[in-house]
């Protein structure tokens, strides 16, 4: 596996992302992290939603540095840190023009065995598309 | 069909419903209207989400009277005004302690024919559960 | 006022826009309509959220033609049909690659008088920015 | 500080909480955790949103055990584990009828100094309302 696979995703905070404190709701920033993840998968030609899976988030953690306001541009830097047997681990940092917004990590499952309803090994072609290859 | 079938649903505005203007986002009030609709179906023993349908909203209109703030209790009064061949029509009024929040109407399809991918007639047992009977 | 002022806005359906029926939730399509509206205001150099207002939606209606799926690109065509004393009226049509998604109309207030907590006339410079001028 | 302060909050998964994988979106489960937190504050007579703060989430982590479907009742058990100088730390476990949904922790700031735009010590009366008292 390469030392580091990084992906950058950008979008602005929309009005419906904000809350009555005047900033993006913490849950909406995590939605933006998921968008970054999906953007990464799409950039690798991987299907995101099909009969077997939807790359479910199985673990997430985030620390919030500073509020993001309506129309702020958010830049998410996503690093694929770990390719497990059946899951991927990413770290992320989201920044706005004047500094950090939040940072953390997220893990996602690749493939749910439709018969077993349980995580299945990441298929070889998916590993290859992710730049991980076989070892 | 009875002159009027009315259903009342209440819930508070949650923080994640609000936006940076300090009030519930207009789209979240419509989510509350859908909750009222689902609560009505559930009160009649009707399944809401199954292989054939999810009572999709096919038309909605709303006029907003006054902003709803975090923790305001919203009371939705839903009236089933029309039972069509394949759809239902409702009018709604949402109020908070100090007056009207919004009012409007919503139409929803009952049953999607899985083969035709098109609206199918409302089944007789659903009509009965809705208090509409056959004529 | 010009015969027609039209604005086009595009974005893809994100995973968090979808619901368990497998399509974008009806309320999330209305969020996309609001994004189109804000994009229009921004293209005219108008502030969207300030001390006096946030262009609140005061009325909306929509008819849904066909479900939008995850990753579908939605193209919103927005037409400013009416410039009132204190509000603007728009019609919209949202389409995806294979046909209509939804269409309808939305009205929004420009300016809330901070003292009166009531709609105030649209300022002259806003009318000019909207291409409406004075008559 | 008492050994443990626990609060229980329940609500059903609504349709707008779900996504195209057929389960509650991971971000919406975190919204339910915030609702539990706000319900706890309200049960202690504490204001949640005022001029000085909105109890912003500054850190969150969650592990997801199993998907929650539309209409599932979710029971959140919240434990206040830590009362810091300016923040509170909670652990949470969310369960549905047939087992665990997710578990994790969340930290929130009490009071933002309006002049300094920085966390301020938790006021004594807030500490008392939380059952923490002074030492």
Q: B-chain residues within 8 Å CB-CB of A72? A: none
Average pLDDT over residues B103-115: 92
Is B15 part of the contact surface with chain A (CB cutoff 8 Å)?
Answer: yes
Q: Is the pLDDT of residue A32 over 60?
A: yes
* Residues A15, A21: Cα–Cα separation, whole Å: 12
pLDDT confidence bin for B126, thresholds 50/70/90: very high
Q: C-chain residues within 8 Å CB-CB of A14? A: 31, 34-35, 38
- DSSP alpha helices (H): ranges in chain A? 26-43, 124-129
pLDDT digits (tens, 9 = 90+) for A71-121: 999 999 999 999 999 999 999 999 999 999 999 999 999 988 888 888 999
D16/B38 CB distance under 8 A: no
Q: With contact defined as beta carbons under 8 Å apart, do C55 and C90 qualify?
A: no
Q: Is B36 in a helix, a strand, or coil?
A: helix
D70/C20 CB distance under 8 A: yes
Which chain A residue is nearest to residue B23, measuring alpha carbons? A20
pLDDT confidence bin for B116, thresholds 50/70/90: confident
Closest CA to D9 of D42, D40, D31, D50: D40
Q: Is the ipTM of this complex over 0.90?
A: yes
Touching subunits of A (3+ CB pairs, under 8 Å) are B, C, D
The pLDDT score that the predictor gives to residue A1 is 45
Residues forming a β-bridge with B10: B75
Per-residue pLDDT of chain D (135 residues; tens, 9 = 90+): 454 679 999 999 999 999 999 999 999 999 999 999 999 999 999 999 998 889 999 999 999 999 999 999 999 999 999 999 999 999 999 999 999 999 999 999 998 888 888 899 999 999 999 986 544
C31/A38 CB distance under 8 A: no
Q: Specify the DSSP class assigned to residue A66.
A: S
Q: What is the mean pLDDT of chain B?
A: 92
pLDDT confidence bin for A23, thresholds 50/70/90: very high
Is B48 part of the contact surface with chain C (CB cutoff 8 Å)?
Answer: no
Which chain C residue is nearest to residue B19, measuring alpha carbons? C54
User: Closest Cα of chain C to B64: distance in Å?
Assistant: 5
B70/A22 CB distance under 8 A: no
The pLDDT score that the predictor gives to residue D4 is 67
* Residues B92, B6: Cα–Cα separation, whole Å: 9
Q: Is the dihedral of CA C13, C14, C18, C22 positive or negative?
A: positive
Q: To the nearest whole percent, how much of chain A has pLDDT over 90?
A: 84
Cα Rg of chain B (Å, integer): 16
**Nearest by CB to D70, which of B49, B70, B71?**
B49
Q: Which of the residues A13, A15, A45 would you substitute to probe the C interface, choosing the one with the greatest number of C C-beta atoms within 10 Å?
A: A15
Q: Tokens 């090994």: give the residue.
A: A121
The pLDDT score that the predictor gives to residue C113 is 86
Which chain D residue is nearest to residue B69, measuring alpha carbons? D49
B58/C58 CB distance under 8 A: no
The pLDDT score that the predictor gives to residue A4 is 67
User: Closest Cα of chain C to B91: distance in Å?
Assistant: 13
- The total of other beta-carbon atoms located within 10 Å of residue A35's CB is 18
A14 or C132, greater pLDDT:
A14
pLDDT confidence bin for B135, thresholds 50/70/90: very low
Q: Is the pLDDT of residue B85 over 70?
A: yes
pLDDT digits (tens, 9 = 90+) for B46-74: 999 998 889 999 999 999 999 999 999 99
B30 or C52, greater pLDDT:
B30
The pLDDT score that the predictor gives to residue A49 is 95
The pLDDT score that the predictor gives to residue C30 is 98
Interface of C with B in 92-111 (CB under 8 A): 104
Instruction: Give the lowest-confidence range in B32-36, C37-41, C128-132.
Output: C128-132
């Amino acid at each position: 596996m390469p030392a580091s696979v990084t992906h950058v995703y950008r979008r602005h905070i929309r009005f419906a992302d904000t809350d009555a404190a005047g900033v993006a709701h913490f849950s909406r920033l995590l939605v933006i992290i998921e968008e970054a993840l999906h953007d990464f998968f799409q950039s690798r030609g991987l299907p995101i939603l099909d009969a077997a899976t939807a790359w479910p988030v199985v673990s997430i953690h985030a620390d919030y540095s500073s509020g993001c306001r309506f129309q702020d541009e958010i830049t998410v830097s996503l690093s694929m840190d770990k390719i497990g047997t059946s899951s991927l681990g990413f770290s992320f940092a989201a920044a706005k023009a004047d500094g950090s917004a939040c940072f953390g990590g997220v893990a996602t499952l690749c493939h749910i065995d439709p018969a077993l309803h349980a995580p299945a090994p990441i298929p070889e072609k998916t590993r290859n598309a992710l730049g991980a290859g076989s070892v």
